[in-house]
């Protein structure tokens, strides 16, 4: 199964909370409490997002963290890349065909590259602003038993 790691999931949750109040500065303690996460985990995520240019860090009594740019300018792809590294499904897509021992004979690497590009574009088209806006909870979108064609009632 292809999925983001827990740190990235938490990071997106933290960033969506920040995007809802972009004029505020957030402390590690406050974000940890709001999100129900351990403070060391939040500190690590904030440090990585700051290093990647997604967040800015402010020092002093009124310090904390804030978004480096408007939420509409920060993509989900950028967040994932900041916390996990390049979005790629295979090693040859991430590091180049030369990194793969089967690179010269591989007949699927071009297709993996295409798939990775489509996923990258899809994630790049969704902004942090999009993620921070309310939507119908997934639970409410899931089909109810017996609602699909062919279900026995």
The per-residue pLDDT for range 35-75, each reduced to its tens digit, is 999 999 999 999 999 999 999 999 988 899 999 999 999 99
φ, ψ dihedrals at 145, nearest 5°: -55, 135
88 occurs within a structural domain:
yes
Comparison of pLDDT for 4 and 93, the residue scoring more: 4
pLDDT at res. 103: 64
Nearest in space to 13 (alpha carbons), one of 116, 83, 87: 83
Residue 53: per-residue pLDDT: 98
**Tens of pLDDT along 1-18?**
678 999 999 999 999 999
Instruction: Note down the domain range covering 76.
Output: 6-130
**Number of domains the chain contains:** 1
In this structure, what token pair is assigned to residue 18?
């920040």
| pLDDT tier at 92, thresholds 50, 70, 90 | confident
* CATH code of residue 119: 1.10.10.10
Q: What whole-number distance in Å separates Cα of residue 77 and Cα of residue 68?
A: 16
Domain assignment present for residue 121? The answer is yes
Residue by residue, DSSP assigns 64-105 as EEEESS-GGG-BHHHHHHHHH----SSHHHHH-GGGSTTTTT
């Amino acid at each position: 199964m292809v999925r983001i790691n827990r740190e990235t999931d938490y990071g997106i949750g933290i960033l969506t909370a920040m995007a809802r109040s972009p004029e505020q500065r957030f402390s590690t303690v406050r974000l940890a409490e709001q999100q129900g996460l351990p403070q060391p985990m939040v500190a690590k995520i904030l440090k990585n997002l700051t290093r990647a240019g997604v967040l800015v860090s402010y020092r002093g009594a009124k310090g904390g963290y804030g978004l480096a740019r408007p939420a509409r300018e920060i993509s989900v792809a950028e967040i994932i890349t900041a916390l996990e590294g390049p979005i790629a499904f295979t090693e040859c897509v991430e590091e180049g065909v030369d990194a793969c021992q089967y690179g010269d004979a591989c007949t699927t690497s071009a297709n993996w590259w295409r798939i990775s590009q489509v996923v990258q574009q899809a994630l790049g088209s969704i902004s942090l602003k999009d993620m921070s806006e309310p939507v119908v909870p997934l639970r409410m979108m899931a089909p109810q038993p017996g609602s699909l064609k062919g279900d026995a009632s």
